[in-house]
């Protein structure tokens, strides 16, 4: 397998996956991801999870579709996924770097990819998305979840508000509240926000629509996947309520 993304990084995280990686499905306040998967369930159809991690969505997909192909960059993630999902014999596991390796087991009717298109490199992201799109049958549906740039900027605003409420001087609050990329006016213009020291691609809503269209997919639904403020901040004050931070979830159909 050719080297594209950082497999060693994900192999190292595998044993700490639950602590390191936000479980989007579990933390989805309104359950829109599960609702959408169930809404497209068909036991005569094939499905795939592109970037399955340690298999969080595989039990649900297994119950909703005839065969599920699970792809991941990390062999250790796949080992854990296979063990956790050992009661689901209709799941097949594939060790792939989706950014460079387009070997797909077979085209599917329904695919999900949850917070996989994160790399700061546009070439890497395009490679992943092209592989996913190639794996869809005509009229097939992609459920894509990706970080929201609007939400990242909104979270900056709420943190600024929080600091001001605590009596911090405005200039100090602004310096404390904004992300490193917001402070220097740099990469955030391209949607790159640093999260726990890792440069992570975030998307505008319309950016996702245009990007998917360029790959031959037409958006049919867009939803917010809302999370509690505790996913953003520690020791959240009681007054900090909605609107809540969110990822974008897009359902798109292959032409």
Look up the CATH number of the domain holding residue 42. 3.40.50.150
Write out pLDDT tens, residues 29-44. 999 999 999 999 999 9
What's the domain count of the chain? Answer: 2
Does 51 fall in a domain? yes
Residue 99's SS3 state is coil
For residues 45 and 160, membership in a common domain is answered with: no
Give the pLDDT score at 107: 96
For residues 156 and 228, membership in a common domain is answered with: no
For residues 140 and 184, membership in a common domain is answered with: no
Instruction: With a cut of 90, say whether residue 227 has pLDDT above it.
Output: yes
Instruction: With a cut of 70, say whether residue 114 has pLDDT above it.
Output: yes
Residues 186 and 203: their CA atoms lie apart, in Å, by: 16
88 near 114, Cβ under 8 Å?
no
Give the pLDDT score at 177: 62
For residues 97 and 127, membership in a common domain is answered with: yes
For residues 37 and 155, membership in a common domain is answered with: no
Does 2 fall in a domain? no
Does 38 fall in a domain? yes
Write out pLDDT tens, residues 172-183. 777 766 555 444
220-229: average pLDDT: 98
For residues 124 and 13, membership in a common domain is answered with: yes
Quick one: tokens of 104? 């797909």
At residue 211's C-alpha, the angle toward residues 29 and 124, to 5°, is 90
Does 99 fall in a domain? yes
For residues 74 and 115, membership in a common domain is answered with: yes
Does 160 fall in a domain? yes
For residues 192 and 245, membership in a common domain is answered with: no
For residues 154 and 97, membership in a common domain is answered with: no
Residue percentage of the chain with pLDDT more than 70: 93
For residues 116 and 211, membership in a common domain is answered with: yes
Give the pLDDT score at 178: 58
Supply the range of the domain harboring residue 178: 149-196
Write out pLDDT tens, residues 47-89. 999 999 999 999 999 999 999 999 999 999 999 999 999 999 9
* Residue whose entry in the numeric block shows the structure tokens 């190639």: 134
Does 1 fall in a domain? no
Distance between alpha carbon 6 and the CA centroid of its chain, in Å? 17
Does 211 fall in a domain? yes
Residue percentage of the chain with pLDDT more than 90: 75
Q: Give the contacts of 234 (CB within 8 A, at least 6 positions apart).
A: none
96 near 103, Cβ under 8 Å?
yes
Burial classification of residue 103, based on how many CB atoms lie within 10 Å of its CB (0-12 exposed, 13-18 middle, 19 or more buried):
exposed
Write out pLDDT tens, residues 153-206. 999 889 889 988 989 888 877 776 655 544 444 456 678 888 878 889 999 999
What does pTM read for this prediction?
0.91
For residues 141 and 159, membership in a common domain is answered with: no
For residues 142 and 154, membership in a common domain is answered with: no
Burial classification of residue 106, based on how many CB atoms lie within 10 Å of its CB (0-12 exposed, 13-18 middle, 19 or more buried):
exposed
Residues 7 and 4: their CA atoms lie apart, in Å, by: 8
Give the pLDDT score at 198: 86
């Amino acid at each position: 397998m050719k080297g594209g993304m950082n497999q060693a990084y994900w192999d190292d995280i595998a044993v700490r996956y639950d602590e390191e990686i936000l479980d989007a499905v579990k933390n989805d306040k309104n359950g829109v991801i599960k609702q959408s998967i169930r809404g497209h369930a068909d036991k005569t159809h094939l499905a795939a999870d592109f970037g399955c991690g340690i298999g969080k969505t595989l039990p649900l997909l297994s119950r909703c579709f005839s065969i599920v192909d699970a792809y991941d960059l990390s062999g250790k993630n796949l080992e854990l996924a296979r063990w956790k999902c050992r009661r689901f014999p209709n799941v097949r596991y594939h060790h792939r770097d989706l950014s460079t390796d387009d070997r797909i087991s077979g085209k599917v009717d329904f695919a999900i990819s949850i917070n996989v298109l994160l790399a700061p490199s546009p070439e890497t992201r395009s490679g992943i998305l092209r592989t996913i799109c190639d794996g869809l049958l005509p009229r097939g549906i992609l459920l894509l979840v990706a970080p929201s740039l609007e939400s990242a900027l909104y979270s900056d605003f709420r943190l600024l508000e929080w600091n001001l409420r605590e009596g911090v001087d405005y200039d100090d609050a602004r310096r404390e509240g904004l992300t490193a990329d917001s402070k220097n006016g740099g990469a955030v213009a391209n949607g790159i926000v640093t999260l726990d020291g890792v440069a992570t691609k975030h998307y505008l809503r319309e950016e996702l629509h245009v990007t998917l269209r360029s790959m031959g997919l037409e958006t049919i639904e867009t939803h917010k996947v809302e999370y509690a403020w505790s996913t953003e901040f520690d020791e959240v004050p009681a007054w900090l309520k909605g609107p809540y931070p969110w990822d974008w979830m897009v359902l798109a159909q292959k032409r």
